[in-house]
């Protein structure tokens, strides 16, 4: 639930999602759900030459389970808040 809340605070920020098939998509985070499925707008494929079939796609829904990493905007995050929330959540029972 913690990470879900983090993603919710990052809506309308630009993130880069790296999938398990090495596809890298940069776009504006529009929404996220409890499974950490992600909807991106105004997308751009970073390694477009390896994935030419993605050229025409402008927005997409990404299933949470195929995501490897998400590169987040560090300036939009409160690290102290993040660590306190993690301690609180791990204290009660994860």
Partner 1 sequence: MQVSGEIQEPFDLIRLSLSERVMVKLRGDRQLSGVLHAYDGHMNMILSDVEETVMIVDPVPEGVKPSIRVAKRQIEMLYVRGDGVILVSPPQRE
Footprint on this chain of partner 1 (rule: CB under 8 A)? 1-3, 6-7, 20, 36, 64-65, 67-74, 77, 79, 82-83, 85-87, 89-90, 94
Nearer to partner 1, 2 or 58 (CB): 2
Cα 36 to Cα 60, 66, 68, distances in angstroms: 14, 10, 12
> Residues 74, 75, 79, CA angle at the centre, nearest 5°?
65
| Least separation in angstroms between CB 53 and partner 1 | 22
| Least separation in angstroms between CB 7 and partner 1 | 8
């Amino acid at each position: 639930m913690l990470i879900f809340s983090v993603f919710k605070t990052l809506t309308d920020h630009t993130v880069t999602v790296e999938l398990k098939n090495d596809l890298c998509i940069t776009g504006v985070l529009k929404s996220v759900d409890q499974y950490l499925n992600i909807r991106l707008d105004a997308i751009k494929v970073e390694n477009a030459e390896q994935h030419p079939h993605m050229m025409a796609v402008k927005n997409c829904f990404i299933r949470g389970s195929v995501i490897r990493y998400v590169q987040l905007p560090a300036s939009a995050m409160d690290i102290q808040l993040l660590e306190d929330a993690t301690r609180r959540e791990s204290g009660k029972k994860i």
